[in-house]
Chains A and B, each alone.
Chain A
Amino acid sequence: MSLAQVEATTEAAKVGEEGGSLRRDAWRRLRRDPVALVGFGIIALFVLVAIFAPWIAPYDPADRPGAGIVTPTNIPGPSAEFWFGLDELGRDEFSRVVFGARTSLLVGVVALLLGMAGGLLLGILAGAFGGKVDTVIMRVVDVMLSIPGLLMAIAIAALLGRSLLSVMIAIAVINIPIFARLLRGQMLAQRGSDYVLAATSLGVRRRSIVLGHVLPNSMSPVIVQATLTLATAIIEAAGLSFLGLGSPDPRVPEWGLMLANTQRYLASAPHLAFFPGVAIVIAALGFTLLGERLREALDPKYRR
């Protein structure tokens, strides 16, 4: 065997002995991977916090329990009563961060789903039909990729008004070409495989080949990309809100918006920037860790 094969033998733990489909193989590999488990743990935490926010947060995010205490020069930091301290209006920062998880999760997931739906549709059409259809779709995708995301977001906000919906749509639109290109590339590669040729020679209908063979084998990188996109969607949503393109309502607990409102207080009340910022980083980190490990687990290089 070649040197490359020798190296492959020494690196990956071969899971194939126990049999089963490749999905099961990948799942087994992931279960044993500490990094993947950490990522998964973070995501689970994030999701749980988002779902159970009303029970976890002591206060409603719009409440101002510290209204009497807070002054422009004295914004209390973390204390026994208010774990993350108070914000400039006397609201409980902890509650706001917790409810912020809801907003971020919602925005991230919706944006991802919209982006995936659009991107995968274009990708399937381009990958399945090829030829002129493919050329046209890819040129459209090229154009979309060449417009800077930020400009796109501003334009959409200008059209639809400033709201979380605009942010979701903007992020979705940015991601459509990414998924389209990814899926189309995978499908084209799979279409050239021998097993597709074999299915054709058996007389299997083209539609069955595309849907039953090509598409399932093209999905692995898409799944990985979805996980990673969720991570970037959270960051992008925060960024767009920070720039004021999201909901203009200051009561909405969105981490990016919270960061924006604290610019004046960075020196005197750093905890106002710290906690939302760390929350963004950790949430994105969880998805990124899992996504990276997922990619390795699904990589055909380790298949025999």
Chain B
Amino acid sequence: MSATEGTAAERHGVPEPGEPQRHRRAVSAEDTLLTVRGLKVYFPIKSGVFVDRVVGWVKAVDGVDLDVPRGSTVGLVGESGCGKTTLGRSILRLVEPTEGTVTFDGIDVSSLAGEDLRRIRRRMQMIFQDPMASLDPRQSVESVLTEPRRAHGIERGEATTVAQLLDLVGLPASAASRYPHEFSGGQRQRIGIARAIALEPEMIIADEPVSALDVSIQAQVVNLLEELQDRLGLTYLVIAHDLAVVRHIADVVAVMYLGGIVEQAASDVLYSAPYHPYTKALMSAVPIPDPVIEDTRERILLSGDLPSPANPPPGCRFHTRCPYRQPTRCDDERPALRAMAPGHTVACHWAEQIHSGEITPRPSAVVGAVIDAAPPTTVPIAGDPTITTLGPPPGI
């Protein structure tokens, strides 16, 4: 597979540093750069004395469909154990998928091998979470930034120079001769970003790009990523657990839980009106730096712990902790992603009823001030004697 012809031709080479105008590529829903279908990544659990036998599977990713339109930013959020990092890595074939397909610009990445796979890596890059661990401590910055070009046999004149890359990410040219340990965390992350854009990729998967950084630096890197997207026409898949960051940067957000996507919607919609109980709980758990809001908001607390991905619950994977759980369907039927509105999908059997207020959460799961004493709007659900009303459905 050859180089990034389409993008390079349109851009006429790398933009000059300091170029004032920003051009954003039109985001068209039909022009999907990345398509993931039915992706599963299962890790074998081995045990044995002389020879290892497989005794079980850790189902890190358990059937995921995802579309990333060209030029957009898709956010993937979830807590630890949800499989988002594994998903990101399996898209790039850094981890081998067990099942499913990954299609990048029409090419089936999941079936490529050897040289073909190596070449297509030029077009899809990754930014890692820990800036210190993702840089070889023995490599100078210059070597880090020229290694991609050397690996693909690109001549020096045809590639973005080290100086240009450093300038794009806001580092001084003198950084080239130094070593990773001489920089701060935020600067190292910029080096990592410079490395990722060295080959002029079309898509970048950012795995927790800011979570290892100090709060006041996070905004710098987020802004840098946005700026680079404008200048270089990049497509992003941002994987993070920090919902506020993802809300800010992503166009579309998908929420993952225990290996599957439970809800997906445009960023604004997801944050203002989530459907899935897990999304609701997640939103209500994020602290907001505003005492007035914090004092009056309602929180939905989840009970118990995350189940083990080696032994996910039957039916809906979330039902063991769900405050809205119902006696039927939840524990034996795994919900599929269904469209609630254009571009908004949810994997929940009772999504409509929860949204309309027909089904309310267990009172023990909700803490915080009650907004107002509205008259009861629930229909008592058979089997739950403690149902009492709590006013409008919890949200932000």
B11 beta carbon closer than 8 Å to chain A:
no
In the assembled complex, the CB of A59 is this many whole angstroms from the nearest CB of chain B, namely 50
- In the bound complex, how far is the Cα of B89 from the Cα of A194, in angstroms? 12
By the criterion CB–CB under 8 Å, are B147 and A21 in contact? no
- Chain A residue, CB-CB nearest to B117: A203
By the criterion CB–CB under 8 Å, are A194 and B133 in contact? yes
Contacts of A303 in B (CB 8 A): 137, 181
In the assembled complex, the CB of B183 is this many whole angstroms from the nearest CB of chain A, namely 9
Task: Give chain A interface residues in 252-266, CB to chain B under 8 Å.
Answer: none
- In the bound complex, how far is the Cα of B128 from the Cα of A22, in angstroms? 23
The verdict on A194 contacting B130 (CB below 8 Å), with A202-B148, A303-B137 known, is: yes
Q: Looking at the complex, which of B71-79, B118-126, B370-378 is the stretch in contact with chain A? A: B118-126
Contact of A201 among B92, B133, B135, B139 (CB under 8 A): B92
Contacts of A281 in B (CB 8 A): none
- In the bound complex, how far is the Cα of B158 from the Cα of A116, in angstroms? 43
By the criterion CB–CB under 8 Å, are B122 and A198 in contact? no
Contacts of B192 in A (CB 8 A): 198
Q: How many residues of B contact A (CB 8 A)?
A: 31
Contacts of A195 in B (CB 8 A): 133-136
- In the bound complex, how far is the Cα of B126 from the Cα of A208, in angstroms? 19
B248 beta carbon closer than 8 Å to chain A:
no
User: Which one of A22, A195, A213, A216 has the highest number of Cβ atoms from chain B below 10 Å of its Cβ?
Assistant: A195
In the assembled complex, the CB of A162 is this many whole angstroms from the nearest CB of chain B, namely 40
Task: Give chain B interface residues in 182-221, CB to chain A under 8 Å.
Answer: 182, 192, 195, 199
A-B contact count (CB 8 A): 73
Chain A contact surface mostly: helix
- In the bound complex, how far is the Cα of B151 from the Cα of A198, in angstroms? 13
Residue-wise, chain B 161-197 has the 8 Å CB interface mask toward A (1 for contact) of 0000000000000000011011000000000100100
- Chain B residue, CB-CB nearest to A205: B151
By the criterion CB–CB under 8 Å, are A199 and B128 in contact? no
Contacts of B178 in A (CB 8 A): 19
In the assembled complex, the CB of A179 is this many whole angstroms from the nearest CB of chain B, namely 21
Task: Give chain A interface residues in 12-37, CB to chain B under 8 Å.
Answer: 16, 19-22
Task: Give chain B interface residues in 350-393, CB to chain A under 8 Å.
Answer: none
User: Which one of A202, A204, A217, A303 has the highest number of Cβ atoms from chain B below 10 Å of its Cβ?
Assistant: A202
By the criterion CB–CB under 8 Å, are B94 and A200 in contact? yes
- In the bound complex, how far is the Cα of B136 from the Cα of A300, in angstroms? 12
Residue-wise, chain A 44-79 has the 8 Å CB interface mask toward B (1 for contact) of 000000000000000000000000000000000000
B160 beta carbon closer than 8 Å to chain A:
no
By the criterion CB–CB under 8 Å, are B181 and A16 in contact? yes
A301 beta carbon closer than 8 Å to chain B:
no
Q: What 9 pairs across the A-B complex have the smallest Cβ distances?
A: A203-B121, A194-B134, A194-B133, A204-B151, A195-B136, A201-B126, A202-B148, A203-B118, A198-B134
On B, residues with C-beta under 8 Å from A are: 89, 92, 94, 118-119, 121-122, 125-126, 128-130, 133-140, 147-148, 151-152, 178-179, 181-182, 192, 195, 199
